[in-house]
Amino acid sequence: MTDLIDNFLREHTLTLMLDYYSGEKQVRMAKTRGKTTCSIILPPGTELLEAAGCTSISMYRLGSFVADNELRLMRLARSLLGGRSLVRGLGLLNMTIAKPYLDKMAEEGILGGLWKNYREYIKSSDDNNFPMDACFGTRVYYGALMKHYKNIDFSIGYGTRCGWFTKFFQDCAGATPLTFLDIPQEINEESLPYQISEVRRVIKEIEQFTKRPFSEEALRDEIKLHNSISRNYLEILKIWAQDITALDPRAFIYVLSMIHFGYPDRLGRGSKYFDRLMMNLAKELKRDSKKDLSDVPKILHAPMFGGFEPEIMTITSNLGGRLLFADWVSLGVLDPIKETGDPIENYSKYLINVAEHWLDNNTVIKHWVKIVEDLKLDGVIFNSVYGCKSFTPAYKLFKDRLIELGVPIVDISFHNMNENLGQIETRIGAFIEMIKD
């Protein structure tokens, strides 16, 4: 098994980890500074919230960890000494008798704490009567919101073709005030005027929460930051796809998962900070690329934002594969936004473009296939999420398209964490062996 601490002893990789696991600290800081906090589950609307000066928070990142004290000390040391000094200090500890302690902290204190939080949030969701046959992603998020809603000023929701997300946003409104950004599910000549009116209406509602005027120039700046962040995000995915990489497969997929789930709320640090971190992370990963993974199959895991079995990250790596999460690519979230002209109209066009990526499964599959082709992937683990009536039915169509390309696919069912791990390991093991043969 990969020693995670060895891979994370890099300034910006370690910074990503420390920021990701500091959600509750970021909420407290926002409250101390008098900032408005908004719960956000998916990326659409992030730029509006950031332009309004809100602190966006993904509830997935909230909760306590066994290693909270150690994380607090590392964040303090980073503030006092700087990231490079912290890395050097941890590196010295990692070369001594402290290595077993650091390894245990990474495995049990941080990751173990995260999975513990998810299990608690599922129980919270069930206790608060959210449907048990909904997808895991909405159940976890709703349970987290029920536990932490007192620290959230409002939530943002959006129109999608997913019935569970519609139910989720309706129930969220019972815990926090909700501003709902409708996004047309049918694209025609009326879509853009309607979307512009929706964006303007939501801006007025956000102004009521923040008690401050919204600036279109601030939105223009956020659009530029969105484009920069997206370029660096895509660059990191290209670095992952290279045969010579900086991180072991398991460590890299954890980095990608933190970027994925940290993207909607910008890790609670704002777009400028997140943009610099993504830029520095891309440079660091490119600079340190030394590990030869040319014989390790590249495998897409999709879709995963509705919830997935986290042990698949370890199982796939231990069995000789390297896993990729790329949902924000396939759903058009990372597509560029026009920077010149009316920022509200440009942002409205972006929202419609994202909606077009979700319109039907044929469109979704087209973008999954493009990722497979562009990154020259060797296989796909299809995540059949229990309760998903939108993407899970796309499996057969996706499989048929991949057969035409000669790319193998395996279907893994997912309902709750840690179910049928033995069967999952057996199936993924056989799948990877088939790819290598």
Mean pLDDT of the chain: 91
- Residue 1, pLDDT > 70, answer no
Considering the entire predicted model, what is its pTM? 0.93
- Tell which residue, 132, 164, 183, 141, has the closest CA to residue 41: 141
- Residue 95, pLDDT > 90, answer no
CA 155 to chain centre: 18
247 token code pair: 């991180």
* Alpha carbon separation from 257 to 237, 308, 345 (Å, rounded): 12, 11, 31
**Each residue of 166-192: pLDDT tens digit?**
888 888 888 899 999 998 888 888 999
Number of other residues whose CB lies within 10 A of the CB of residue 358? 20
Q: Please state the domain extents for the chain.
A: 4-294+326-359
Read off the amino acid at residue 222: E
CA distance 315 to 313: 6
- Average pLDDT on 61-83 reads 84
Cβ pair 2, 249 in contact under 8 A:
yes
CA distance 243 to 378: 13
- Residue 63, pLDDT > 90, answer no
**Each residue of 207-266: pLDDT tens digit?**
999 999 999 999 999 999 999 999 999 999 999 999 998 899 999 999 999 999 999 999
pLDDT of residue 245: 87
To 10 degrees, the CA torsion angle through 360, 238, 250, 432?
Answer: 70
- State residue 156 phi and psi, 5-degree precision: -120, 135
